[in-house]
Homo-oligomer: A and B are copies of this chain.
Amino acid sequence: MPAKFHAIKALVFDVFGTVVDWRGSIIREVRKLSREKKLALDPAEFADAWRAGYQPAMAKVRSGTLGWTKIDALHRMILDDLLAKFGVEGLKESEIDHLNRVWHRLAPWPDSRAGLKALKKTRTIATLSNGNVSLLTNMAKAGGLPWDCVFSGELFHHYKPDPETYLGACELLSLEPAEVMMVAAHKNDLFAAKGCGLATGFVRRPLEHGPAVKNDLKAEKAFDINANDFLDLARRLGA
């Protein structure tokens, strides 16, 4: 493996958008539900609106306006608002609950599984997501994601980008921050990790917000690796 990355013993991964395609997965399920229930929803608009509620909901927890709340419960609050806003009526509680758990069933990007398997051979691989532990565990079982362990903001009662999350993961791994690489498609997540002393791996996910939205895909010198996908990341790490 390249000498400069020899010190990296573990990789921790952002999940929504980095490992799995939340938008495509939600669009597929909402389209299906919309047809079955004759709801006339725009699935892409619905998916984007649901995701748009995510940062503001977490901000309430980070600021202390809301006590510690799992993402499942935040997703549900946003969903209840959206169903009203989009004029959806007549869904049973079990149907709404099933829809809310679409986040447990998000599909991996095409390279995610193979890339993680390659990386797992030489390093410990773990999630470091704001998704709750049961969400991440169910998603891994459904999508065949071979995590060595599942870390979540839930373990620290802090959401990324709070430093408690990055430093908490290093503490659980019994590693120094410099021995751990944060992998994400989102630069703010990586800059926050870097601020805590972790190594950083940027992975481009040009389709995260759909084909019409241009993500910031520019390589950053500040990051240790700028990769095109997980297989590219594995090659650059010599895995």
| A residues whose Cβ falls under 8 Å from a Cβ of B | 70, 72, 124, 126, 132-134, 137-138, 140-141, 147-150, 154-155, 172-175
Contact = CB atoms under 8 A, between A and B. Distances in A.
A63 to B, nearest CB: 23
A140 B148 contact: yes
A19 to B, nearest CB: 16
Contact of A137 (B72, B137, B138, B148): B148
B154 A141 contact: no
Contact of A149 (B124, B150, B175): B150
A4 B173 CA distance: 38
6 contacts: A133-B172, A137-B149, A140-B148, A148-B150, A150-B150, A154-B172
A175 B140 CA distance: 17
A126 B148 CA distance: 11
Contacts of A133: 149, 172-174
